Each structure stands twice: as structure tokens, then as C-alpha cells.
Amino acid sequence: MIEQITDEIPLQQLQVSKRNVRTVEDFKRALADNLYYKRGQAVYTATRHDIYVALAHTVRDYLMERWHKTVETYFQTRPKFVYYLSAEYLPGQQITQNLLYSETTDLARQALAEWGLDLNDLIALEPEPGLGNGGLGRLAACFMDSMATLDIPAYSFGIRYEFGIFRQSFQDGWQEESPDEWLFYGNPWEFSQPDDMVEVCFGGHTEHHVDDQGRHRVRWIHGQTLLGEPCHMLVPGYGTGTVNLLRLWRARASREFDFELFDVGDYARAVEQKTASENISKVLYPNDNTPEGKELRLKQQYFFVACSLKMIVSRTLQFNRGLFELPDKAVVQLNDTHPVVAIPELMRLLMDEHGLSWDEAWDITRRTFAYTCHTLMPEALEKWPVSLFGKLLPRHLEIVYEINHRFLQEVRVRFPGDEERVRRMSIIEEWPEQVCMAHLAASCSFSINGVAKLQSSLLKEHTLRDFYEMWPEKFNNKTNGVTPRRWVRMANPRLSELITSKIGDGWLRDMDQLEALVPYADQADFRQVWRVVKRENKVALAAHIGKSVGVQVDPDSLYDAMVKRLHEYKRQLLKALHIITLYQRLKADPALDIVPRTFIFGAKAAAGYHIAKLIIKLINSLAEVINSDPALNDRLKVVFLPNFNVTLGERIYPAVDVSEQISMAGKEASGTGNMKFALNGALTVGTLDGANIEIRERVGKENFFLFGLTVPEVMAQKEAGYNPLDYYYGNPELKRAIDWIVSGDLGGDKALFQPLVDSLLHKDEYLLLADYASYVECQERVDEAYRDAASWTRMSILNAARCGHFSSDRTIRQYNEEIWRAPPLPVGL
């Protein structure tokens, strides 16, 4: 790391100049300056993309002034910091957000219009950073936004993947993946900081010795060294001067390491190995809910954790009196198990690099970390083979063994004679020998939280039950939330304007204020405008669908959407069975009176998840058959929009009438799409799973379409020896739908979808057949309810009005009050 200069140059010499751009003229000048000085282009030679970059720099300059003020405040106040560690972030397009937060949207629009350019055309050029798979990564982005908005001193750390989540396209209905080259044209929002690179080591072995004060010390003689280069992105708060940072680490080959090979004259191999070490931050693993047990994945985890902790420790030393103050000055939130190797890494830093004893290091470590668990899927609990862990991180493995040894002693003291419990709780699993990251997290963190009430209870009762019995006080719930800025204000400007026209704009920083809309649900004229807004959004989405997949959809049909990762437990296949049933009913009785529906899907399947990919193919085949059947008279349409991501979500959520949240009860930890839909006035068709339960409690059971088995019922079915064939033979309509899948009518090879049918009939792990009848019946209630526009709109308004609770500001406030205790530090605008 290159020395900082603040000790040498008096701070007052480093005052930054204010740009003070407040008029369209100023903005145009700043834009031209940036185009000329930063981009190296003249107005005569610039491409549209050059102008986009100049625009991004102009907006960024605004935020830099605020960032500077924030840093000044932090340096002067030395507050307690929240450090959020997450392997994934899905922040969405930056330009729209940064224009909004810097209040420059109108200036930019006008300035560009004077140049004959349309702001929206430039916005469309920005690729979104797809540095995550799904809910977990998007939640991290909502949390950053809320932390800054609530003036919480915070840093978020992650990996600067060169390739984010793959781009999805369809070839003959099959998913195809192509690389997401989001950095191809550079990223105007990031500041790389090569002077702050830190060294990270892997491999090698350890040496134990006694130092000259007679203390037992360990040296890690590492095998490989590489560098982490930080890249910063600004995280502005809304309506405040606070601008926090997202620090993403990029792997660079260490020079020292190159020289060794260059010395022996093996130039080609030296360059090859350089590339190999830079591969660490090359690509995001595209798995959702099943960890990838690859060596490179563990390297990624340790890489970003080691870089981040080095910075946290050195900041603590710089700002405070010593490392003993760490737990009072820092709290590290672990976003699932992916960064959990931070625990042995902090122990190692404190003992081996800063000379603390085990007890001293342990006391600091166990008061520093808090852990969030985002799953209920047993297969999602990360485990690393001991051999792999020890090969890459020999010192950490020793530390984990020692933590485990001491921890199991504690268990034995608490539960004498209960060796079975000791075995269950061990951080190291036997046969095969694996390090269980969730156990490491649970035993070493001072807080363990789930992400919705039901999941938090199930963690206590099942997944982490032994840990709950040991430390009930560590367990807590923090129901997820989403940021109202991106998911209402930016995604749905029409609705936002309507809301603001009635209740003011306070809801953007205090979403509970949406409650003030409740009385409007009973006003016919308000319902009318609400409907107009929804319809305009539906028209806009119809235009996008037309452009994207070439299907014409009717904005007056009911839009029924299921957008989320493709996973069997989420049950996209149950939705498909419902569509097939409607199709068959219409074929059997062409005069049947149903509300015309447009089914909208968006979902990526992990590249190696064959059944999930087959489900995509099935839905696309279904779309082809249904969309081209003239006998249906356009009453059903099915569209699968490719490449579902944050930007596409922003188009879909505002335009939907029915939100499908149909996971098997007890599987979806929370869900956050459910919240985005409800806030935009969609009604939920859902099971009693994840946050659906809390949404239903808030919006009222009369404004929510409930179906399906509950968790105890699911368990009872499984215990009783669930047999899907009972449902198959017991329900002719269900049998007809399933049989049709392999009838050949779906086009192509008859046997193609046989694996889906086999898995339904012979296993049906997620009880689709058991829930089918209830689901179809529930959809009939939806059909009926949609016919009464007044009452539907009333329900829609009540959904939005009563979901203020699901703001990530509320979630973050709870994290801060109950876990972090980092006093907010307002930075004026």
C-alpha cells in the first residue's frame, strides 16, 4: 500500500473547489468540459456513447462533492462503522439513480435536448452491473441505499467480477448463456485505486515457533501471493448529503510473484500464471441456492474477505486507539456464509500479524461479526472439503480446528453426555470431512438473523436448532425490505407522481406514510386515476414485449407475472400446469368465459441445472402453441422475456396485476419480488411462505389470494409418505394437463419433457401435485375478482398503501437498532 499524504500536507491546503452547477447553461458547460477534458472528444467527433460517459462524469462530479463532505465528517468524528461483506451486489443502472439523487435529471434532460439528444436514449446505453444471482445480491444493493439514506457510516465490500451473471437468450426455446461483458466499454462510475492494493496469500504451510518473549507464534509460509485492487463506486443516500462507498476488489497478479518466474527465464509461464491469479475476480458463479464447490469459488471468497479485513483493521488502527476497540468501532455483517472465512481471517490477523493472544483475539472476533442466513434449503448450506480448505488456507484450517475444539468443549459443558449433539454441531463434519460454514458463522457471531418471520422461526426450530438451544439470545429476525426509491420512484414515475400529488413526497424517506393512501381506496375518482396509471404502465410493457419477443399483448388483459430465478422449489412448473389447464378448458369449450390473461415469465436457470432449463423450454414451447392458436381468440398469451435483471424488473413490476409467489411453504426464505409487486399495486397469489405471510398480514387477507399447504401440512404429507400418483389419478384435469406435456402436442420430440413428468409423478419433491387443485381454484377467484374493476382497484391501492413496512429503510433501521448500534451521522446537503 502506498503511504497516505494527509500527515504531510495540511488538510486546509486540500480544499476542493465547488462546481456549483445549478442552471442548464452550467450543466451544458460541465458536460462539454467532461467530454473534452475527460473523454478526449470534441462535440464534433463524439459518439452517443461519448456523450453518455460525459454525462455520467458530470453527474458523478455532483456526488463527489457530497462524498468529500462525508469523508470529512467521518475523519473528524471517527464513528462506529458498519462493514457489509457480500459476495454479490445487484445495484441496477447507476445513471438513473444518480441523476435522481443529485437532483439533476431535469437539468440533464434540458441540456441534452438543446443538443438534440434524448436523455432516455443515453440511459439505455448503460449496462447494469450484474454482480449477483438474485434476491441476495439485490437485497445487498437495497441495503446500501438505505444505509446511506439513513446516514449510517458504512462500507460495503465485494468482488469486482469482470463478467457478471450471464446474459440469457433463447434459441429454439432453450436457454443460452453468453458472457456479460459489462466492463467492455469501461465503467464511468468506478474509481480504481491502484495505490491502495493489498496483498493476499494462498497455499503453502505453517511454521510454529516460540518468540523471544516465550510466546507461541505461527508463521504462514504462503505458496502464492496476489494483489487486490479496490474499485470504488459511490453510494449516495436519498435526500441527505451522505455518500458511502461500495468497495469492490479486483484480483491483480503480484509483481514479486512474476519476478520469481522471470528470473528462471520462463517468460511464457510467468505470464500464464499472472493470468491465472487474475482469474479470481473474472466471473460470478451463476448458482442460485446451491453453492458451487469449486476451488476458484473458495479463492474468490477468501480473496475479497482478506482484502476487506485488511482495510478494516488498518482503518481501526488509524482512527482509534488500538485493536481492542474494534468491536466498539466496527461491526461486520456477513451476508450469508460466503464471507464467513472472515472469522478465521480476523483471528489470524489479530494473532499472527498483530501479536494478540488467542483469548484476546477471540474476545474481539466474537463481538465483531453478525451473520444473516438467507436460506432454508439444506443443500444451500455451504461446506468445504477439509482437504481443499487446508490446501488453500492452511493457517485458517488450524484456526478453525481450534475454534471447533473450544466450541465443542463449551457444548459438552452445557449439555453433558450429549455426544450426539456435539457431533451434530461440530464445525468440522466427518465422513466426508468438511468445514460447515453455517456452523462456523453461528458459533462465532454475536447475532444470527433470518430474513422473514417464518424463516427465522424455522431456523430456530430446525436448521440451526442446536445453536438456538445453546444461544437463544443470538437469534433474531430482520424481515427483508426493498428501497422505495428504485422500486417505486424510479421504476414507476407515474404512480409516484400520483402518490405524491395526494400525500406529498415524504413517503420516499418514510414509506409508512403510504398508509395515508388508505382512505383514497374508497374514492371512485382516485381509483380511476390509479387504473389509468396501471394501464399506461401496461401499454409501455406491451410495447417492450412486442420489441423484445415479437408477441402482441393486450393491455386490457390481466397481466399475471412470475419473475425470479428458475428453481424447482419456486414452482414455475405449477404455473405452467395452470396455464395448460386454462388452455385445455378453452379448447374443450371455446365459449368459456374467462378473463383474458397475459402470462409473463422472467427467470434465469443456473447453467448446469438441467431440469430448470427444461422448464424454460417447456414454457417457451407452451408460449409458441398458445400464442399461435387462433381458436383462443387472444384470450391467453404467454411471454417469456429473456435476460431478467434489475432493469427489466423495473419495467415489469409497475405493469402487473397479479404477482405469483407460489413456492412450496417452508422453502422461500423471504422473497423480495413479492414486496416490489405489492408496492406497485399488484395482488399476490401466494402460499404461506417467506414474507408472503407478513405481506398478507399487512394488506389484509381479503386483499391477498391464498392457496396451498402450510408448513405443518407439508411436513405431515411428507411424513405420511407422500405419493404424487394419488393426486394424478385423483384429479382428471390434473392428469390431462400432465399427460399433455408428453403428448407431442407441444412440438418436437415426445420424450423431450419426459424427465419433468417423471419427476412430478415419481418424486414431486415440492408438492406441486398436492397444491395443484388449490392453486387452480385460487386462480378462479382471481378471475372472478378481476371482473369487478372498482373492487380490484381498491385492493390494488390497499396493497400499495399497506406495504410501507417493506421498505429496506425499516429493515436497516432494525439492523442498526438491534444489531449494529452504529449511531447515524447526518451529513448536510
Active site residues: 374, 564-565, 570, 672, 676
Residues 310-369 that bind ligand F58 (CB under 6 A): none
Q: Which is nearer to ligand F58, 246 or 364 (CB)?
A: 246
- Our finding on whether 481 is near ligand F58 (CB under 6 A) is no
Count of residues touching ligand F58 (by CB under 6 A)? 21
Please check whether residue 308 is in contact with residue 85, taking contact to mean a CB–CB distance below 8 angstroms. Answer: yes
Collapsing DSSP to helix, strand or coil, 755 comes out as: helix
CB of 438 to ligand F58, least distance (A): 12
What x-and-dash track marks residues 515-544 binding ligand F58 by CB under 6 A?
------------------------------
Q: Which of 134, 327, 666, 724 binds ligand F58 (CB under 6 A)?
A: 134
65 vs 288, beta carbon nearer ligand F58:
288
From residue 603, give the alpha-carbon distance in Å to each of 133, 613, 745.
11, 10, 24
H runs (alpha helix) in 2-47: 24-33
Stretch of residues binding ligand F58 (CB under 6 A), selected from 127-135, 192-200, 232-240, 481-489: 127-135
Rounded Cα distance, 796 and 304, in Å: 43
Nearer to ligand F58, 133 or 434 (CB): 133
Q: How many residues does the chain have?
A: 829
678 binds ligand F58 per the rule CB under 6 A: no
On whether the CB atoms of residues 456 and 476 are closer than 8 A, the answer is: yes
Q: Does 690 bind ligand F58 (CB under 6 A)?
A: yes
User: In the complex, what is the shortest distance from the CB of residue 379 to ligand F58, in angstroms, rounded to a whole number?
Assistant: 10
Grid-cell match 471468497, residue found: 301
**Span interacting with ligand F58, options 120-128, 243-251, 282-290, 728-736, rule CB under 6 A:** 282-290
Between the alpha carbon of residue 113 and those of residues 57, 108, 117, 206, the distances in Å are: 18, 8, 5, 64
The whole-angstrom separation of Cα 629 and Cα 747 is 13
Nearer to ligand F58, 240 or 808 (CB): 808
Q: Does 165 bind ligand F58 (CB under 6 A)?
A: no
Please say which residue, 237 or 673, places its beta carbon nearer to ligand F58: 673
Closest contact distance (angstroms) between CB of 779 and ligand F58 is 23
Distance in angstroms (rounded) separating the CA atoms of residues 94 and 233: 10
Please report whether residue 451 would count as binding ligand F58 according to CB under 6 A. yes
Backbone angles phi, psi at 71, to 5 degrees: -60, -40
**C-alpha cell belonging to residue 461:** 426450530
Q: Does 668 bind ligand F58 (CB under 6 A)?
A: yes
144 binds ligand F58 (CB under 6 A): no
Distance of closest approach, residue 564 Cβ to ligand F58, in angstroms: 9
| Smallest gap from residue 631 Cβ to ligand F58 (A) | 39
**CA 170 – CA 294 distance, rounded (Å):** 28
Which of 718, 779, 402 is CA-nearest to residue 574?
779
Told to check if 291 binds ligand F58 by CB under 6 A, we report yes
Interface segment toward ligand F58; rule CB under 6 A; list 253-261, 373-381, 524-532, 729-737: 373-381
Q: Residue 562: helix, strand or coil by DSSP?
A: strand
Instruction: By CB under 6 A, tell whether 288 contacts ligand F58.
Output: yes
CB neighbour class for 453 (10 Å; exposed up to 12, middle 13-18, buried from 19):
middle
**What angle do the packed helices 754-762 and 610-627 form, to 10 degrees?**
110
The Cα–Cα gap between 16 and 356 comes to 41
Single out the residue of 300, 620, 670, 759 in contact with ligand F58 (rule: CB under 6 A).
Answer: 670
How far apart are CB 455 and ligand F58 at their closest, in Å? 8
Tell me the closest approach of the beta carbon of residue 159 to ligand F58, in angstroms.
12
| 669 is a site residue for ligand F58 (CB under 6 A) | yes
**Out of 39, 167, 299, 374, the residue judged to bind ligand F58 by CB under 6 A:** 374
Taking the complex as a whole, the smallest distance from the CB of residue 766 to ligand F58 amounts, in Å, to 14
Q: Work out which of 480, 557, 598, 647 binds ligand F58, going by CB under 6 A.
A: 480
The three grid cell numbers given for residue 197, joined into one nine-digit string: 492494493
Q: How far is the CB of 141 from ligand F58 (least distance, A)?
A: 11
CB 343 to ligand F58: min, Å: 18
Min separation Cβ 139 and ligand F58, Å: 4
Binding mask 375-404 for ligand F58 (x = CB under 6 A): x----x------------------------
When asked if residue 666 is in the footprint of ligand F58 (CB under 6 A), the reply is no
* 289 binds ligand F58, rule: CB under 6 A: yes
CA distance 427 to 403: 9
Contact pattern for ligand F58 over residues 759 through 798, marking x by CB under 6 A: ----------------------------------------
Residues 151/825, Cβ–Cβ less than 8 Å: yes
Q: Is residue 139 part of the contact set for ligand F58 (CB under 6 A)?
A: yes
Query: Interface with ligand F58 by CB under 6 A: which range of 283-291, 388-396, 456-464, 718-726?
Result: 283-291
Helix 754-762 and helix 732-741: axis angle, to 10°? 150
* Cβ distance to ligand F58 smaller for residue 139 or 827: 139
- Report CA torsion sign: 52, 57, 60, 61: negative
Q: Is 230 one of the binding residues for ligand F58 (CB under 6 A)?
A: no
Please identify which residue in 230, 344, 649, 671 interacts with ligand F58, judged by CB under 6 A. Answer: 671
Phi, psi for residue 435 in degrees, rounded to 5: -90, 120
Could you tell me which stretch among 42-50, 128-136, 630-638, 756-764 binds ligand F58 (CB under 6 A)? Answer: 128-136
| Cα–Cα nearest to 100, from 145, 165, 130, 143 | 145
Which class for 325: exposed (0-12), middle (13-18), buried (19 or more C-beta within 10 A)?
middle
> Could you tell me which residues come within 8 angstroms of residue 251 by beta carbon, excluding any fewer than 6 positions away?
226, 227, 228, 229, 277, 278, 279, 280, 281, 282, 303
CA dihedral sign of residues 183, 184, 187, 192:
positive
Nearer to ligand F58, 289 or 807 (CB): 289
Helix H or strand E segment including 64: helix 48-77
CB nearer to ligand F58: pick between 132 and 204: 132
Q: How far is CA 117 from CA 105, 111, 113, 122, 714, in A?
A: 14, 9, 5, 8, 57
Q: In terms of C-beta density within 10 A (0-12 exposed, 13-18 middle, 19 or more buried), how is residue 501 classed? A: exposed
Question: Could you say which residues in the range 77-116 bind ligand F58, by CB under 6 A?
Answer: 88
Shortest distance, position 94 Cβ to ligand F58, whole Å: 21
x/- mask, ligand F58, residues 26-65, rule CB under 6 A, reads ----------------------------------------
Choice between 671 and 681, CB closer to ligand F58? 671
Does 188 interact with ligand F58 (rule: CB under 6 A)?
no
526, HSE (Cβ side, Cα atoms, 13 Å): 21
From residue 323, give the alpha-carbon distance in Å to each of 80, 326, 353, 554. 13, 5, 12, 63
Question: Between residues 399 and 646, which has the closer beta carbon with respect to ligand F58?
Answer: 646
Q: What's the min distance (Å) between Cβ of 376 and ligand F58?
A: 8
Examine residue 672 and tell whether it contacts ligand F58 (CB under 6 A). yes
Residue among 41, 73, 96, 133 that touches ligand F58 (CB under 6 A) = 133
Torsion of CA 234, 237, 238, 241, to 10 degrees: -100
The binder of ligand F58 chosen from 206, 279, 287, 710 (CB under 6 A) = 287
Residue 647 engages ligand F58 in binding (rule: CB under 6 A): no
Positions that interact with ligand F58 (CB under 6 A): 88, 133-136, 139, 287-289, 291, 374-375, 380, 451, 480, 668-672, 690
